[in-house]
Amino acid sequence: MKIIMLGAPGAGKGTQAKMIADAYNIPHISTGDIFRANIKNNTELGIKAKKYMDQGLLVPDELTCDLVVDRICQEDCADGYVLDGFPRTIPQAVCLDKALEGMSDKIDYAVNVKVPDENIVRRMSGRRACAKCGATYHIVHIPPKKEGICDRCSSELILRDDDKPETVLKRLSVYHAQTQPLIEYYDEKGVLVEVDGTQEMNDVFAEITGALK
């Protein structure tokens, strides 16, 4: 089963991707992990990607697609995979489809975890991270035992810049402009599954698995 996860930043698609991967015993593949692995192993594709990243530039769509295709061609993906964070744009989706067609393959499902923007801003602005050990919390859903203090190392918890409301709104703006068109793209292909991401985590998962045949 080949699955793509869609949804705005903070919608919870990463958590659901991991749960799906565990349930169906298939790899959870994120572009960040692919980049790190190729750079660490000094592969030809990793060297190319690092040149862009070192300059603070986005890795071009074609190279990103090559990295993803290289990963999904590995033996552990024979029974399927869950792609998390790719594709992010229509050109990336087209590139992936062409590569899969060349292998007589295709994406089975594109799962869109729907959450209103205001919910996402509220969710992410409630996140807290330990500046020392990196442990993460949420002031409502996963609060520390002592307010503002990390359970693990007793260091101060902070609101990361990425989670500040103004930053979240900017990220959502980029998502709506670049990534949201993918929902229509996969809907037209007849593989789109939409779920209500405002539910409890396990209820979202149950809705997803109920839709995957």
Judged against a pLDDT cut of 80, whether residue 58 lies above it is answered with no
Q: With pLDDT > 70 as the criterion, what percentage of the chain qualifies?
A: 100
Q: Which domain holds residue 58?
A: 2-115+173-211
| Domain presence at residue 65 | yes
| Domain presence at residue 9 | yes
Give the total number of structural domains in the chain: 1
| Domain presence at residue 46 | yes
pLDDT bucket at 121, cuts 50 / 70 / 90: very high
CATH of the domain at 20: 3.40.50.300
pLDDT digits (tens, 9 = 90+) for 4-43: 999 998 899 989 999 999 999 999 998 888 888 899 999 9
Q: What is the pTM of this model?
A: 0.84
Average pLDDT estimate for 144-169: 93
- Cβ–Cβ < 8 Å for 191, 107: yes
Q: Find, among 124, 96, 78, 98, the residue nearest to 4 by Cα.
A: 96
Count CA atoms closer than 13 A to 132's CA, side-chain side: 10
| Domain presence at residue 93 | yes
Q: Is the dihedral of CA 130, 134, 140, 144 positive or negative?
A: negative
| Residues forming the active site | 13, 88, 127, 160, 171
Spatial separation of the C-alpha atoms in residues 108 and 110, rounded to whole Å = 7
